[in-house]
Structure 1
Amino acid sequence: MNEKDIEKIADKILEKIKSDKDMRKDKQLTPFQKTEKLLSELELLKGAIDSKNMLIEDLKKEGISIQKRETGVNVQSSKVYLSELEKVENRIEKLQEEIARIENVISMVERALDTIRNDKYYNIIEMKYFEDLTFEDIAEKLNISVRTAKRHKNFMIRQLQLIIFSDDVLKSILN
């Protein structure tokens, strides 16, 4: 092996280590980052509920048509086979459970937002996460500096994280 081959191998190893670190970082978001992620994806979560409800309606229609044409259930002694109708019903049940989980998250975030709604700079949260404005645009609209906008946003995110991820925050403080 020559020096160039060794350098190429070393570079590949370093790239691999760096990508592994980046992947671990993504999986281990801080409560602050989790709060920001929830805020930025709140509307998408609401849309997911609508999509899942539409899918449930389609599955219910499919279940009715299956029920009309189903004549029997195929069962063998060693295995139990679910009928098509049972498969549809199981899928509907799983979707309803997913909807309930998403609704709980949305409710939790909205309750947390209600606790800071009276803050003088609450609209920074709305502009940043719901209207997707830049800090420059926010600062211009509120006639404040970009730094002040960022500071107030961070302050409110810290308040929200304490409400939404209180257990995670306590763990990070105590460790």
Structure 2
Amino acid sequence: MTSKQDYQNKNKHNTKYYRRQMSKYLSTYNQIKEGIRFKEEDIQNLEKEYFEACPAVHKINKTGVSWTIEDKRKYMANKIKADIAIDKIHIKQMERCLFIVQKEKYYDIIPLYYFEHNTIEAIAEKLYCDTVTVYRNKNALLDKMIVCYFGARSIL
């Protein structure tokens, strides 16, 4: 059995890994929310008259079994619904993480950097602080969000 110290030494890179993951999640947060809306539209479009013209539908026939149009519609709708469910779980978890840090003094760094795509220098100017302060507090906010999203495994 390995000790906690062995585990920490083996996984020292995890801090960078989790920050990179959380940064990726925050950067794509709005696109995933918008993607849910598009997927819901796709489900509605499955009922349109020219259903067979959709390239995604032809990929279903790879099994060699001939499917009816109704079977294809159900299959595609269920596949899209499963994707939406996964996206909604991710969004809900991200919103919980954002809620946890929203009362922090430098919370504005998160929306300014990840949602409005401001540079660190522009954020420092807007918040009347140094760029080092922005970097340090961005990482501190990310660390809090990481624990919320990934749980204890991110800090062990």
Range into which the TM-score falls when normalised by the shorter chain: 0.7 to 0.9
Match of 2:99 among 109, 114, 121: 114
Q: Which whole-Å CA distance do the structure 2 matches of 1:118 and 1:80 have between them?
A: 56
Please say if residues 49 and 102 of structure 1, whose CA atoms lie closer than 8 Å, have aligned partners that are also in contact. yes
Q: Which amino acid aligns with 1:105?
A: H
Counterpart of 2:5? Answer: none
Gap regions ≥5 residues in structure 1 = 1-28, 67-78
- Match for residue 54 of structure 1 among 41, 51, 59: 41
Residues 91-147 of structure 1 show CA distances to partners (whole Å, capped at 9, x for unaligned) of: 011101100100100000001110111001100001000100000000000000000
State the Cα RMSD in Å.
Answer: 1.9
Q: In structure 2, the residue corresponding to 1:32 is in which secondary structure?
A: helix
- Map 1:66-85 to 2 at 5 A: 80-85=65-70
Report the equivalent of 1:91: 76
Larger Rg: 1
For residue 106 of structure 2, what is the amino acid of its counterpart? Y
Q: Runs (4+) of structure 1 moved beyond 3 Å?
A: none
Return the offset for 1:163. Answer: 0.8
Q: Deviations along 1:8-63, whole A, 9 cap, x unmatched?
A: xxxxxxxxxxxxxxxxxxxxx71111111000100110111111111111102349
The number of residue pairs the alignment matches comes to: 130
Secondary structure, aligned partner of 2:117: coil
What's the counterpart of residue 152 of structure 1? 137
In the aligned structure 2, how far is the partner of 1:80 from the partner of 1:148? 61
What is the TM-score normalised by the length of structure 1?
A: 0.69
State TM-score, norm by structure 2.
0.77
- Fraction of identical pairs, as percent: 30
Cα shift readout 1:43-95 (whole Å, capped 9, x = no counterpart) = 110111111111111102349x89xxxxxxxxxxxx75321110111101110
